[in-house]
Amino acid sequence: MSYRKKDKFIINGGNKLYGTIKVQTSKNATLPIMSASLLTTESVKINSCPDILDVQNMIKILKKLGAKVERIGDDYVINNSQIDDICLDYNLCKTMRSSIFLLGSILARFKTMSLTMPGGCKIGERPIDIHIDAFKRLGVKVVELDDFIFFNAEHAKANKIKLKIPSVGATENIVQFASTLKGKTTIYNAAREPEVVDLCNFLIKMGANIKGAGTNKITIFGVDRLKGVEYRPIPDRIVLGTLLIATAICGGVIQINNAILNQNEKLIDILLRMGCQINIKNDIITISRETPLKSIKSVSTGYFPDFPTDLQSLMLTLSCIVKGKTQINEKIFENRFLIVDELKKMGAKIQIIDNHTAIVEGVHKLSANKIKALDLRGGASLVLAGLAAEGRTIIENVHFIDRGYCHLESMLASLGADIKRI
C-alpha cells in the first residue's frame, strides 16, 4: 500500500470491539534483520514482513545501495551481492531512526562508512554516542564533522564492551559488527528485548556464533562468513499491546492470534488488576472488558522485561477514562508526553510534573475533536482516544502511525470500530 502524508483518520467513537485478529510481524525485529542481510552475499528471504512505512523505507535504502529486492506476497528476498555504493541516502535515513542499524552491518562488510544523524520520532534526544563509544572500543576510527560521522574499521579488534545503558540499537549494532570480527567480543549490560534475541537467532541461523541473547551479557565469537537463510521474525509485541489496550478502552471481547505471552507480561498484569478478563492458550490471547475499570496507582516504563516505553502513551490514554488518579512515570525518553496537549483538547485531565512524570485524573467521557499525531506511538494512542470519545474525531499526520502499524484503521474496523482513512 502507498501511504500518503496528508491522509487522515475519521473516527466515530463509542463502538465496542468484537472479533478475531492476528498480530503482524514485529517492526522492531524486521528492520535490524533486513540490515543484517548485508552481512552475506547470498540471498536472504524474510517471511511475513509488515506492510508499514518503515519497512518500505528500509527497502528503498537497500535498493539505493544496490541491493536486489524481490517481493513475493508478504515475503522479501534480498540479495546484496552487487552492492558497490555504501553512501546512505540522507533523505531516506532522516525519515527513521532504524537506519542506524545499518552501521554495524555495513562496517562489518565494507570497513568504512559515513553517516548523517538518523531521523525518526521526536520523542527524545536518543544520542548515538553509545554506538560511537562501543565502536571505538572495538578499534573503529571515528571522525565527526558537522552533521556527518565517518567510520573506518580497517584495524578493528574484538574486545569487551560495557554499555552505560542497555541500548537496543547499540546492542544490535555491535552484534552485527562482531559476528564476522575475528576473536571474542563481549557486551556487558546488553539489551534483553525480544527483538535483540530475534536478531541473534537470525544471525545464528546464518552461521554466527552468539551466546547469551536475552541476558545482560552477550558473547560473540567472530566467524569467517555468513550464509543466506529464510527467516520469519517474531510477532509485534507493541501491536499486541495496542490491541489489548484498545479492548480495555472500548470494551468488548477480542481474540488475538500469533501472540507471545512473555513479551507482554507487565501489560497483561496491569490490565488484569484494572478489571479486564484475559485468557491465554498457547499463542492465543482472549481479552474482554464488560465492566468499568479500576485505576492503578502508577505505571513506570523501563528496559525489558519492565513495562515498555512504546506502550506508555497508550496506557496514558487508557488512564484518561478510568475513574481515579494514575501516575505515569517515563524513565526512558524525555519527550514521550507530546500527546498530552492533544488529549486535553478532548477533555482529558493531565498534569505534567516534569519531562518524566504525568498525573492523570480519569474523566467519564472524552469528547471528539480535530487532533494530530506527533509521533508513532502517540499517534496510535490518539486513535484509541478517538474510539472512546463521544462524537466524530479527525486525526491528522497519520503517516507517523503508518511507520509501525500495518493499516491500523483496517485492523480496528475489522473488530467493529467506526474508523476510515481519507
Catalytic residue among 49, 87, 93, 121: 121
Helix 168-178 vs helix 194-206: angle between axes, to the nearest 10 degrees? 10
Taking the C-alpha atoms of residue 64 and residue 83, their distance in angstroms, rounded to an integer, is 9
Taking the C-alpha atoms of residue 74 and residue 364, their distance in angstroms, rounded to an integer, is 42
Taking the C-alpha atoms of residue 15 and residue 23, their distance in angstroms, rounded to an integer, is 21
- Calculate the CA 147 to chain-centre distance: 25
Computed on alpha carbons and rounded to an integer, the radius of gyration of the chain in Å comes to: 21
Q: Tell me if 166 sits within 8 A of 190, measured CB to CB.
A: yes
Q: What share of the chain is helix, strand, coil (3-state, %, to 5)?
A: 35, 25, 40
Measuring CA to CA, which residue among 345, 325, 322, 310 is closest to residue 248?
Answer: 322
Active site annotation includes 121: yes
Contacts of residue 233, defined as CB under 8 A and 6 or more positions apart, other chains included, come to 25, 26, 29, 30, 33, 46, 47, 48, 49, 198, 202
Long-range contacts of 204-207 (CB under 8 A, 24+ apart): 205/229, 205/231, 206/36, 206/39, 206/40, 206/44, 206/179
* Cα–Cα distance list, 344 to 299, 315, 348, 370 (Å): 20, 15, 5, 12
Taking the C-alpha atoms of residue 208 and residue 201, their distance in angstroms, rounded to an integer, is 9
What are the cell numbers at 163? 554499555
Contacts of residue 410, defined as CB under 8 A and 6 or more positions apart, other chains included, come to none
Q: Which residues pair with 349 in a beta bridge?
A: 361
Active site residues: 121
